[in-house]
Chain A
Amino acid sequence: MTDATALLREPWERFERQQRAGKFGIWIFLASETLFFGALMLTYAVCRVEHPDAFAAAGRATNIWFGTINTAILLTSSLTIAVASQAAAQSERSRTLVLTCLGLTAALGFAFIVVKGFEYKEDIDKHLVPGAGFALSEAAAQLFYGLYWLVTGVHAIHLTIGIVLVVRLIVLGATRRIRLRENPEIEVTALYWHLVDIVWIFLYPLIYLPGRAS
């Protein structure tokens, strides 16, 4: 049996039960996050159905290259944290692989934030902030950008929380204050990270692809 009793915590008697509970708990939380972002997607969908042309015009005004690069970055970060999580689950020496992958994930997450920052700056310069001097003429385009700023902002906050969690694992792991091997926290952080990635996977077609064809 693995000597994971160091990780055992109240009220569990067996480590394997605690690990299952942790995984089950995070998945329930991810179900609630699905509805959290799902409600935002519903708001977008209803506004788009009610104002198709304005949303198409607004979609055209976004910079698709920023969106595509950012999506690629997040997909890669999902790869690295998946490898980290699966490596951590193995029994024999995989500590260096886990730490490098976690480092890559945090770096990619940070890169996403940086690219997002440039995109925000460009959007502000192009007067895409709803309000007085709004660039586009359609009134409902301001709804699109109202949602754009809110949804990408909330997503960025969730991503920042993810980066903090990953960095925490790296610091505690590197200084050997927690055992990385078979530590449920790595899998829980990975699952949370994948959710933030999936939210962005859905945001990409909603923000960057409307109106490209006309």
Chain B
Amino acid sequence: MTTVFTLPEASTHAARVDGIFAILVVVSALTLALVFGLLVTFAIRYRRGSNAKRGRLPEIVNREFEVSWTAATGFLFVFLFWWAASADVGALTAPTNALEVHVLAKQWMWKTQHSNGAREIDELHVPLGQPVRLVMTSQDVIHSFFVPAFRIKQDVLPGRNTETWFKATKLGVFPLLCAEYCGTDHSAMRGRITVMGEDDYARWLSRQPEGDDLAHLGAKLFVSQGCSGCHAASSSVHAPKLNGLYGRTVQLSDGRQLKADDAYLRDSILQPKRDIVAGFEPLMPSFAGLLDDGEVQSLTAYIRSLGQEQDHE
């Protein structure tokens, strides 16, 4: 049982967080040294009965003195805020070429799914040096995807997608933990992130059981659930066509405009009456309760692939 004393910096973000952490440690150490130092020296020097000099406070220690170091403290804190905020704002959105992984959290396990359909439980294999974007949702309560080595943590909410991203910079296996209390086995809901070399990852990926990738799975669902009846390109029913839909801005019946992203597709499947496309009747039945989150993610991937085929021709 090796006790851990230092945490590996295994992602680009980790280095930046540790930088800010170090500054804050230095500032705190100085302040603590100042406060403890003053406390101890005053306690010893001005203990009752000592023959140190008493009397009125020296003139300089007056109102301006207090105002000035209050302002100094204020500026220091605002500077610290700016320094921390700038690092945070920079790391907000994942780079566009990020590898997308769908994470599904359910009471007390992690299900990860690569874009080519490879599925893992409490495991995630990622390539070194390539940004990975995690699109996460929960099937029951709030969980939290926490990888200490990458310094990332993001709550996973039911009924909604939350995202985070990282770019691994060290090979190895790093613990994955659930950080938001989620019931009995909250402390058992742990996993491992394995960072592999570029080619090892490709070999590992190809060896995965040839489960359909998300898009093919989505295609099957598109037919079996009856979506093709109205939305297929060949169908005569007056319903919005989905080819090339992904990424386009959609004109809605009440005048609003929405970008057809993951969240829009997901809402249209689960709550069709929410955003009705201009020129169409709200006839589509809701699939909430009929499709679980994994199937919704596959359908979304399939609809996205419709858009991409158009770009290739």
Given a CB threshold of 8 Å, the question of whether A touches B is answered with yes
Name A's B-contacting residues (CB within 8 A).
51, 53-54, 137-140
Given contacts A139-B286, A139-B288, contact A51 B273 (CB under 8 A): no
Inter-chain contacts of A139 with B (CB < 8 A): 271, 286, 288
A54 contact set on B, CB distance < 8 A: 273-274
For B252-285 the 0/1 string (1 means CB < 8 A from A) is 0010000000000000000101100000000000
* B274: A residues at CB distance < 8 A: 51, 53-54, 138
Given contacts A53-B254, A137-B273, A139-B271, 4 further A-B contacts (CB under 8 A): A51-B274, A53-B274, A139-B286, A139-B288
B288 — which chain A residues lie within 8 A by C-beta?
139
Residue of A nearest to B253 (CB): A53
Interface of A, secondary structure class, is loop
List residues of chain B with CB within 8 A of the CB of A51.
Answer: 274
Residues from chain A with a CB closer than 8 A to the CB of B271 are 138-140
Tell me, rounded to whole Å, the shortest Cβ–Cβ distance linking B287 to chain A: 12
Q: How many A-B residue pairs have CB under 8 A?
A: 15
* Closest residue of B by beta carbon distance from A137: B273
CB distance from A141 to the nearest CB of B (A): 10
**A157-B273 Cα distance, complex, nearest whole Å:** 36
Write the chain B residue with the least CB distance to A57: B273
A214 to chain B, nearest CB (A): 8
With both beta carbons as reference points, the residue of chain B lying nearest to A50 in the complex is identified as B274
A53 to B252, CA, bound (A): 13
CA distance A140 to B286 in the complex (A): 13
CA–CA, A53 to B254, complex, Å?
Answer: 10
The chain A residue with its CB closest to the CB of B256 is A52
Nearest 8 A/B pairs, CB to CB? A138-B273, A139-B271, A53-B274, A139-B288, A137-B273, A53-B273, A139-B286, A51-B274
Residue in B closest to A136 when the chains form the complex, CB atoms: B273
Question: Which of B254, B274, B286: most chain A CB closer than 10 A?
Answer: B274
CA distance A137 to B254 in the complex (A): 19
A-facing residues in B99-113 (Cβ within 8 Å)? none
Shortest distance from the beta carbon of B258 to any chain A beta carbon, whole Å: 13
Task: Report how far A53 CA is from B274 CA in the complex, Å.
Answer: 7
Residues of B within 8 A of A53 (CB): 254, 273-274
Q: CA separation between A177 and B54, bound complex, in Å?
A: 66
CA distance A139 to B285 in the complex (A): 12
Closest to B270 in A: A139
Within the complex, the shortest CB–CB distance from B253 to chain A, in Å, comes to 10
- How far, in angstroms, from A55 to B288 measured CA to CA in the complex? 19
Find chain B residues with CB under 8 A from A137 CB: 273, 286
- State the Cβ distance, B291 to closest chain A Cβ, in Å: 14
User: Can you list 15 A-B contacts with CB-CB less than 8 angstroms, sorted by A residue number?
Assistant: A51-B274, A53-B254, A53-B273, A53-B274, A54-B273, A54-B274, A137-B273, A137-B286, A138-B271, A138-B273, A138-B274, A139-B271, A139-B286, A139-B288, A140-B271
| Assembled-state Cα–Cα distance A53/B267 (Å) | 14
Tell me the complex Cα distance, A92–B274, Å: 63
Interface residues of B in 107-139 (CB under 8 A from A): none
| Whole-angstrom distance between the Cβ of A196 and the nearest chain B Cβ | 35
In the assembly, what is the distance between CA of A51 and CA of B273, in Å? Answer: 11
A137 to B284 CA separation, bound complex (whole angstroms): 12
CA distance A140 to B270 in the complex (A): 12
How distant is B158 from chain A, measured CB to nearest CB, in Å?
14
In the complex, what residue of chain B is closest to A141 when comparing beta carbons? B273
| Across-interface contacts of A140 in B (CB, < 8 A) | 271
Chain A: CB-nearest residue to B289: A139
Closest to A51 in B: B274
Q: How far is the CA of A141 from the CA of B273 in the complex (A)?
A: 12
